[in-house]
Structure 1
Amino acid sequence: MAAATDTTTQTVAAGMELAGDASASPDEAAAKAVTKRYDGLVMVRTKAIKGKGAWYWAHLEPILVNNTDTGLPKAVKLRCNLCDAIFSASNPSRTASEHLKRGTCPNFSNLSKPVSSPSPISTSLPNSAPPPPSHHNPRKRSSSSAAASGSAPASSYSVPPQGVLDPTRFCGGELTYAVPGVLTQQPHLMLSGGKDDLGALAMLEDSVKKLKSPKTSPGPTLGKTQVDCALDFLADWVYESCGSVSFSSLEHPKFRAFLNQVGLPAVSGREFTGSRLDAKFEEAKAESEARIRDAMFFQIASDGWKIKNAGGLGEDNLVNLTVNLPNGTSLYRRAVFVGGAVPSKYAEEVLWETITSICGNAVQQCVGIVADRFKVKALRNLESQNHWMVNLCCQFQGFTSLIKDFSRELRLFKAVTENCYKLASFVNNKSQVRSSFQKYQSQKYGYTGLLRVPSMQDYEMLNFGPVYVMVEDILSSRPALELVVLDESYTLVSMEDPMAREVAEMIGHERFWNELRAVHSLVKLIKDMAQEIEKERPLVGKCLPLWDGLRAEVKIWCSSNHIDEGPVEKVIEKRFKKNYHPAWAAAFILDPVYLIRDNSGKYLPPFNLLTPEQEKDVDKLITRLVSREEAHIALMELMKWRTEGLDPVYARAVQMKERDPVSGKMRIANPQSSRLVWETYLTEFKSLGKVAVRLIFLHATSCGFKSSGSLMRWVSPRVNMDKAQKLIFIAAHSKLERRDFSCDEDKDAELLALENGFD
């Protein structure tokens, strides 16, 4: 340090002597006085460090502050090496007493005895401004030359310049460092590791500082209650993330540094999979059990039976069983891990076992099941064996199955699939055409890539999911494809390849593009309706209006695309009959939401919107759901309901709507009113009321907890299945509690799409 500071003094003094004479300006005279004061303080500090002066000089360092305009010294300051605070140099002893002895400095801990050891070693980073050269350095520069070279003033240092990188010592690929103090008594030290030694030197400095000042600046201090509460919140987040946060990531060094920064102890993944997991599971399970006991009846929702990739480890291998309560609450029950095709009998046994595990012998509490379509036989068997049950197929699954129906039964879909497959395969596989296509892609869109083509298996099985992606790619690439067939290189290819001529004719024909748009728009229409169903999770009374709405939209589609309605309607009716259940019609009639005001002002059930077969289904279902003794009473009450309906004031109260603040759509203000009006106001309908309150709350979709791919990491031979069940239960219970039916992976994809400017 002495070498470095003496050099500064000598350099400034030399510069002043060279530049100054009898006619020196006032600024230069003042700078000379400041320099003299600086030299004196440096000399005093140098002696003190050697044990011949006051103790506080080990922590206080003189520095020069230069004038930004002239570059000449304008003041002398003292810097605290422990906390980098800056003080006036007029009275060092007073500064030491007030800053060090009185505890103002947060890093000064030795208050009782003088410190004779050297100050901590500091590294000088390559991009930091070098300090003034030493008195002992033969390569002296004047103050004017230092200013010309852009040297930073001493006050701009962020690190005390005690370890000095001397650029004048660079030769032969080696760097020379001046490191004063007890580590060396020589003015310069060759660090054999070169620049990489700077990191090690910084670590050594930190070690010295820790030894000298063990009581560093304390972080935030939390009480035991606060720590426990914070760790509980952390555990909730980890469990409820559905596998997105791995337990091993809790031991990541950066995460541990974060915990330390906010005053929390380090945690381990093992801690979160032990007693804490058991406690969280028991808490969630007890809450779920209490809510089920409080309800008079419930419905089982079962999702995941429809295997897409048999034997794979996707989400299709996890069957989620959920309990729907009359008040609109959904509670997670259990997970069943399956692989490959599931026998109908096995599904039936799992569903019945779930029911009995909830209500024991009082199985009439379970009034129905809704499941994605795996084997209708299992649902029908359970319904026929238990007359009070209503077992439904999922409407979301029914709508998405329509797309496969169209791809298999409509000639338009088959023609579009075949043409797109030819075009995409030819463009991707023909090198000259592919190069031309990617050239125009780059010009038009700023990126290049291949058209996404379905596998041969998907193509032959008419799996329209991958086909739809291919159709989207071709539609969006139309401008580039039209330029490709006009390119001179394509003309040369067409002379030899008949497929090239066929593809060029296809691209140039407007009929091809019209058919492509028609297929794409119909599939998008159904996909959008299915996504709305998945999001809204409609009740069973909404089923008939949903299918009527689909028919109306498809009718408009046929008209706008000049397509014969007959074959399309036939496909829809076939799928409708596969999914139809008499409960659709009965709930539609009994739910006050769908009452219609007639000319007399009465609000009556919409029997006129049912077919004769559906009217008969209503009678049959109601008589099945009540005892034999009550059957004729229930039918009489149904006739009264048909002719009298509901009081207009109550009907309007049930049908009252409000605007959803998120979607902006008008929605029923209180969905529970439909059931509550039967239980509290329509008390004269004793038998029919029992059917109504059990029927109209039933969900028409099995969509509930949506498992993610990351969650399936817990499902493997290496994982304890008991722990996996608990983890899934906690995650699902939390998401259903928040009514969050989305998947985190879908949210991330949507967020990234928005970040990239996609709609």
Structure 2
Amino acid sequence: MFQTQSTIDRCFSKLFQFISPRQYEGEKTGDNATPSSSIAGEDLTAKAVHKRYEGLVTVRTKAIRGKGAWYWAHLEPILVHNSDTGLAKAVKLRCSLCDAVFSASNPSRTASEHLKRGTCPNFTSLPKPISSISPSPISYNHRKRPSPATAAASTSVVTSGFSPLALIEPSRFCSPELNYAPVVVAAAAAAAPSPHLVLSGGKEDLGALAMLEDSVKKLKSPKASPGPDLSKTQIESALNLLSDWVYESCGAVSFSSIESPKFRAFLAQVGLPLISRRELIGARLDAKFDEAKTEADARIRDAMFFQVASDGWSSGNLSEKVVNLTVNLPNGTSVFHKAVFATGDVPSKYAEEVLWESVSGICGGGVASRCVGIVADKFKAKALRNLENQNHWMVNLSCQLQGFLSLMKDLFKELGLFKTVTANCLKLANFFNSKPQARSCFHKYQFQEVDHAGLIRVPPHNLEVGVKSFELAYPMLEDVWDFARALHLAVLDESFKVVCGEDAVAGEVSEMIHDVRFWNDLEAVHSLVKLIKELALDMETDRPLVGQCLPLWEELRGKVKDWCAKFSIAEEPVEKIVEKRFRKNYHPAWSAAFILDPLYLMRDTSGKYLPPFKCLTPEQEKDVDKLITRLVSREEAHIALMELMKWRSEGLDPLYAQAVQVKQRDPLTGKMKIANPQSSRLVWETCLSEFKALGKVAVRLIFLHATACGFKCNWSFLRWVCAHRHSSAGMERAQKMIFIAAHAKLERRDFSSEEDKDAELFATSSGEDDVLTKVFADPSSV
């Protein structure tokens, strides 16, 4: 973070509080004191000497920046150590012009006697014309940096050679905008104080005058260029990393920012050549895309089969959306395929065509049966069902994350409790937002309780829309719940009681806020939504496989049952809504994968590890038989069913079953997770190889993903695409950029967007330890 000059001054002022004022002027601190024979005494003396030394260094540093006496440009504090103990015993001042050493007791007197009176042979205050200075050869390639003594000597010579600069007030050169040799000007001004010099060009001449003096300084004391000398390989590598960052940001970093003067200055400072926008969207973009595409295609070719994930159909009510098509491979990795730009609500037939074209394009004219299924984030029932009916080997699923989110919408639409709470909160919010006196009272207690004030978020339309729309209504419920204490205090305020006497609605709102049942109902709704959201967030992070769908819904049922008991709510209406959504999302592959995945084998009384058929309903058992029969050829159907019976009765060797089910703690979340998720598939391909037909189905089923979570596009990139959607060249570049960005993110398994990360960063708060809060409240505290 950049700090202003005033902020730096405040930091220095705090630092100087630890140094006594007499130390600035040189109070004697025992430079010549005799060390005590006691070790403790020597340590105390050394600490005092160190403190004195650090104080002088601090004062000198401030002076060099133009905020102190002129002589510090030539006097340097040094520590003198005891030859026997090695501890510091005194502080001295060394003249950087002649290397003479003096006591540090009074720097001002030392400067007067040694510098001003002519004792130092290398210090002179006589003015010299600029023509009398003989330029020295300039070399910018040597790497040895000048010593502090050399630099200080050069500074003094240049300063003494231009006494007219002493007529200018030093502080006028210490502006943050003018970074031209403030120490030199300050030194000259202190050496020969004079009235202000009036320049013909006015204040603008100060910068030009400082540049002139700086040029003379460089001629007298040439030094290496500020940027490091980089090899061609290093430069090319750095520019490649820079371009990768721009592409992978996928619109968060604009191409125009590359040509920002500040960014160009940064490149020059680190020794890199300038790079143009045209270069980034030209050859570099093409080369990076070709590299990523070649790598992705090679991974897909190596896999025996794959699943297509289609994410982006459910982008809310946006008129423009990006549908990302990703390829899930059996080894657990994902590869980006392409992005499809769509407008508005997409017809089911169009979605079907897009999905099949993607499958055909990935197979490249080869065997289409390599694609064993599709998972889409919005259940295009007709499209997925048609593709599944036309290709018997395919398993097409709806995204379970969207299924859980849709369940929350069902609750808001169909459960009476949600409707009542939403209507009451809407009435309360509208009242406080629209009545000035009530709003003022509410804001007063908002500031008191949460350190900020604002309106309660309400649905943008009428009450009916607010009641039925989860996305529009829930933020309002969150606000009312978060501001509960501020609302209670507001209705107890005397000014609000005056409003109650004048407005009947105010009395109703006050009665509602004092009603315990209103808050119990709001807490119930808030906690259930929070519960489902947490399950959905875990699902988005863990990306469960199809075999985990039944356990996930069973976990949800258990938590909903506990919720009903906690808040004394009838279970039957809630269970009906949950079961209705379950049936709408259910696919027979859930049951089949659950039975075939060794991860869910259960140990019976005989010690065998058998598939959990007893966890299925009779209908789900039939689904297992039907699905397995459909996924194999007619000739193999009866063989597959016989092998299924054998699997049901014999299961898996206990040692292998235990090995598959080994868990370990995730260091990031602290939860227990399967140590090797690939074990379930590998067991079928190795030690269960006698199951010829059933094994073919198992390895294809149990790797399928149950969610379509993939690459997330930035809003800035989406806007950029919308602006260039009528340009073929612009759309081609957009496709390449999104491929590069998605390929990189999937490579490191990063499924979040920059907007999500920024929102999480700014939403994170840890009280007094929150650095961002400190910075925004008081920049000088950092």
Q: Shared fold by TM > 0.5? A: yes
Provide the secondary structure at the position in 2 that maps to 1:357.
helix
CA distance in 2, matches of 1:368, 1:74: 85
2:493 matches 1:456 = no
1:67-113 alpha-carbon deviations (Å, 9 max, x no partner): 7648435567789xxxxxxx9934689xx99x99999885999xxxx
> C-alpha distance in 2, partners of 1:221/1:729?
35
1:127 corresponding residue in structure 2:
171
- How far 1:226 moved relative to its partner? 1.1
Partner residue of 2:576 out of 570, 573, 597:
570
Pairing 1:329–2:333 present:
yes
- Give, in whole Å, the separation in 1 of the partners of 2:371 and 2:260: 47
526 and 437 in structure 1: CA distance in 2 versus 1, 3 angstrom threshold:
same
1:744 aligns with 2:782: no
State the aligned residue count. Answer: 640
1:89 matched to 2:120? The reply is yes
Matched residue, 1:673: 679
1:644 corresponds to which residue?
A: 650
Q: Of the candidates 102, 109, 133, which is equivalent to residue 72 of structure 1?
A: 109
Which residue pairs with 1:351 in the alignment?
A: 355
Q: Deviations over 1:658-697 (max 9, x none)?
A: 1111111111111000000000110110000000000000
Is residue 2:213 matched to residue 1:205? yes
1:592-621 C-alpha deviation (Å, 9 max, x unpaired): 000000000000000000000000000000
Change over 3 Å in CA distance of 1:633–1:71 after alignment to 2: closer
Q: Give secondary structure in 1 for the equivalent of 2:171.
A: coil
Of stretches 258-267 and 651-660 in structure 1, the one that deviates more from structure 2 is 258-267
Superposed CA deviations along residues 286-311 of structure 1, whole A, max 9, x for unmatched, are 00000000000000000111241241
What are the Cα deviations for residues 553-610 of structure 1, in whole angstroms up to 9, with x where unaligned? Answer: 0000000000000000000000001100000000000000000000000000000000
C-alpha deviation, 1:723, in angstroms: 0.3
- 1:423 maps to which residue? 428
For 2:247 and 2:318, how far apart are their aligned partners in 1?
28
Flag the 1:709–1:70 CA change in 2: closer, same or farther, 3 A: closer
Take 1:380 and 1:738, find their aligned partners in 2: how far apart are those partners?
33
1:122-146: per-residue Cα shift (whole Å, max 9, x none)? 686643899xxxxxxxxxxxxxxxx
Indicate how the Cα distance of structure 1 residues 235 and 122 shifts in structure 2: closer, same or farther if over 3 A, else same.
Answer: farther
Q: 1:495 aligns with which of 492, 501, 514?
A: 501
Q: Deviations over 1:193-214 (max 9, x none)?
A: 6555423322333455567777
Shift of 1:444: 2.5
Contact 1:65 1:76 in 2 (8 A): no
Q: Are the equivalent residues in 2 in contact too, given 1:541–1:584 (CA < 8 A)? A: yes
Question: Could you tell me whether the CA contact under 8 Å between 2:379 and 2:398 is conserved in 1?
Answer: no
Q: How far apart are residue 445 of structure 1 and its match?
A: 2.6
**Partner amino acid, structure 1, of 2:488:** E
**1:220 corresponds to which of 213, 224, 228:** 228
Give the letter aligned to residue 608 of structure 2.
K
**Structure 1 counterpart SS, 2:764:** helix
Higher mean alpha-carbon deviation, 370-379 vs 683-692, is at: 370-379
Q: Secondary structure at the match of 1:710?
A: helix
Q: Distance in 2 between matches of 1:120 and 1:309?
A: 72
- 1:278 maps to what in 2? 286
CA spacing shift, 1:74–1:417, aligned 2, 3 Å = closer
In 1, the alpha carbon distance for the partners of 2:431 and 2:114 equals: 78
Q: Contact 1:67/1:74 (CA < 8 Å) preserved in 2?
A: no
Query: Does the Cα contact within 8 Å between 2:247 and 2:740 map onto a contact in 1?
Result: yes
Task: Specify every segment of 5 or more residues in structure 2 that has no aligned partner in the other structure, as ranges.
Answer: 1-95, 125-132, 152-156, 175-181, 771-782
Q: One-letter code of the match for 1:702?
A: A
Shift of 1:459: 5.3
Q: Select 2:661's aligned residue among 637, 652, 655.
A: 655
* Structure 1 range deviating more: 382-391 or 260-269: 260-269
Aligned-partner SS, 2:392: coil
Q: Secondary structure at the match of 2:722?
A: coil
Of 255, 261, 273 in structure 1, the residue corresponding to residue 269 of structure 2 is 261
User: CA 1:214–1:683 in structure 2 vs 1: closer, same or farther (change >3 Å)?
Assistant: same
**1:191 aligned onto 2:199:** yes
CA deviations 1:180-230 (Å, max 9, x no partner) are xxxxxxxxxx12565554233223334555677777545311111111111
Counterpart in the other structure of 1:22: none
Matches within 5 A, 1:30-69: 69=106
Contact 1:65 1:77 survives alignment (8 Å): no
Amino acid at match of 2:171: N
The residue aligned with 1:754 is 764
Structure 1 residue 437, shift from structure 2 partner: 0.8
Equivalent residue for 2:391?
386
| Residue 54 (structure 2) aligns with | none
What is the CA RMSD across the aligned residues, in angstroms?
A: 3.5
* Gap change, CA 1:458 and 1:403, over 3 Å in 2: farther
3-state SS of 2:715 partner: coil
> Could you list the runs of 5+ residues in structure 1 that have no partner in the other structure?
1-58, 80-86, 131-155, 170-175, 178-189
Cα 1:157–1:247 change in 2 (3 A) is closer
Q: Using a 3 Å threshold, how does the CA distance of structure 1 residues 72 and 129 change in structure 2: closer, same or farther?
A: farther
Question: Aligned with 1:575: secondary structure?
Answer: helix
Match of 1:303 among 302, 305, 311: 311
Q: 1:290 aligns with which of 280, 289, 298?
A: 298
Q: Specify the code of the residue in structure 1 equivalent to 2:304.
A: M
Question: Residues 100, 321 of structure 1: CA spacing in aligned structure 2 closer, same or farther, 3 A cutoff?
Answer: closer
Cα separation, 2, equivalents of 1:602 and 1:647: 7
**Contact 1:120–1:205 (8 Å) recurs in 2:** no
Contact 1:585–1:618 (Cα < 8 Å) also in 2? yes
State the alpha-carbon separation in 2 of the partners of residues 568 and 391 from structure 1.
Answer: 28
User: What is the SS of the residue equivalent to 1:715?
Assistant: helix
Q: Name the SS of the counterpart of 1:682 in structure 2.
A: coil
**Higher helix content, 1 or 2:** 2
Instruction: Indicate which of 362, 373, 376 corresponds to 2:378.
Output: 373
In 2, Cα distance between the equivalents of 1:202 and 1:224? Answer: 35
* Partners of 2:403 and 2:581 within 8 A in 1: yes
Alignment partners' CA distance in 2, 1:442 and 1:70: 53
Partner of 1:538: 544
| Corresponding residue for residue 727 of structure 1 | 737
- In 2, Cα distance between equivalents of 1:121 and 1:722: 63
Structure 2 residue aligned with 1:436, among 422, 441, 444? 441
SS in 2 for 1:716: helix
Aligned to 1:244: 252
Give the deviation of 1:537 after TM superposition.
Answer: 0.2
| Stretch deviating more after TM superposition (267-276 or 296-305) | 267-276
Any idea what the Cα deviations from partners look like across 1:394-450, whole Å, max 9, x if unmatched?
000000001100000000000000000000000110111011111122222322211
Greater radius of gyration (CA): 1
Deviation of the 1:451 alpha carbon: 1.2
Q: Which amino acid aligns with 1:386?
A: N
Q: Give 3-state SS (helix, strand or coil) of 1:326's partner.
A: coil
Q: Residues 121 and 329 from structure 1, CA distance in 2 versus in 1: closer, same or farther, beyond 3 angstroms?
A: farther
Identify if the C-alpha distance between structure 1 residues 121 and 431 changes in structure 2 by more than 3 Å, giving closer, same or farther: same
Deviations 1:369-416 (A, max 9, x none): 000125211000000000000000000000000110000000000000
Tell me how far apart the structure 1 counterparts of residues 119 and 596 of structure 2 sit (CA, whole Å).
88
On the 8 A contact 1:706/1:743 being kept in 2, the answer is yes
Match of 1:14 in 2: none
Give me the whole-angstrom Cα distance separating, in 2, the residues matched to 1:662 and 1:60: 58
Match status 1:484 vs 2:490: yes
SS at match of 1:449: coil
Amino acid at match of 2:479: D
Quickly say closer, same or farther: Cα 1:122–1:62, change in 2 above 3 A: farther
* Aligned amino acid, residue 370 of structure 2: Q
C-alpha separation in 2, matches of 1:105 and 1:222 = 17
Q: CA 1:474–1:232 in structure 2 vs 1: closer, same or farther (change >3 Å)? A: same
